[in-house]
Amino acid sequence: MTTVLAICVTVIVTVSVYLMLSRELKSIAMGVFLLGHGANLAIIAMSGSPVLPGGDLRQPPILGGENLVDALPQALILTAIVINFAVMGFLLTLLVVTARKTGTLNVDELALEDPPVASPEPDRSADRGVGR
């Protein structure tokens, strides 16, 4: 079980790093979200195998008795999912606003402080690149 989870985490993180290395903000955002899922799976893996050495499964805590699953990592993941969801909503909104305002979601084009076309003050072009 842990091996399967470990492989899943590896694949997810690999894909997310690949996405984050892109120059398009949309792909970067997707990469960040995937990374969050990978992190949640990693916590599940850390919380221990649900299969006991004898082959029995651990029981949900609500049933009581012995050999219970540790519920705390799942509480952590629940919190992390909620936070991830909020961040995702914010980031997607920001992407939409940015695309509307600037007409681009390319990292290189956004990094220019004063775009050549939209610059209202030509005298600022002198200090473009300062401190970059």
Partner 1 sequence: MTDNLLGLLVVIPLATAVASVALIRHRIPQRVLGLVSFGSMLVLALGWLSEIRDGDVLVSQMGGWPAPYGITLVFDSLSGLLLCAGLVVALGCYVHSFSMLDPVTERRYFHPLIQLLIVGVNQCFLTGDLFNLFVGFEIMLMASYGLLVIGGSRRQLGQAYKYLILNLIASTVFVVCAGLVYGMFGTLNLADLARIVDARVASGEGLPPGFVGVSVLLLFVFGAKGAFFPLWFWLPDTYHTCPVPVAALFSGLLTKVGVYAVARTFPLIFAVGEARDVVTPLLLVSAAVTMLLGVLGAVSQNNVRRILAVHVISQVGYMVFGLALMTTAGLAGALYYMVQHMVVKSSLFLCCGVMERHAGSDDLDRLGGLLKRDRFLGVAFFVAAMSLVGLPPLSGFFGKLVLVREGWADHWWLSVVALLTGLLTLVSMLKIWTKGFWLPPAEQAPPAPGRDGDTGSGDLRGAYAGIGFLVVVAVLIGLAAEPIYEIAFHAGEQLTDPSAYIRAVDPHGLIAAGGATGGGG
Judge whether 72 and 105 are in contact, CB under 8 Å.
no
CA distance 58 to 49: 9
Closer CB to partner 1, 61 or 115, in the complex: 115
Residue spans of alpha helices (H) in 2-116: 2-20, 25-46, 72-102, 107-111
User: Binding to partner 1 (CB under 8 A): which residues in 48-77?
Assistant: 48-49, 70, 72-73, 76
Judge whether 125 and 118 are in contact, CB under 8 Å.
no
Q: Is 98 in the site for partner 1 (CB under 8 A)?
A: yes
Q: Is 28 in the site for partner 1 (CB under 8 A)?
A: yes
**Which of 69, 3, 83, 70 minimizes the C-alpha distance to 40?**
83
Q: Is 83 in the site for partner 1 (CB under 8 A)?
A: yes
**Nearest distance in Å: CB 38, partner 1:** 8
The two structure tokens encoding residue 107: 């990292």
Closer CB to partner 1, 60 or 90, in the complex: 90
Binding site for partner 1 (CB under 8 A): 2, 20, 25, 28, 32, 35-36, 38-40, 42-43, 45-49, 70, 72-73, 76, 79-80, 83, 86-87, 90-91, 94, 97-98, 101-102, 107, 110-115, 118, 121, 123-124, 127, 130-131
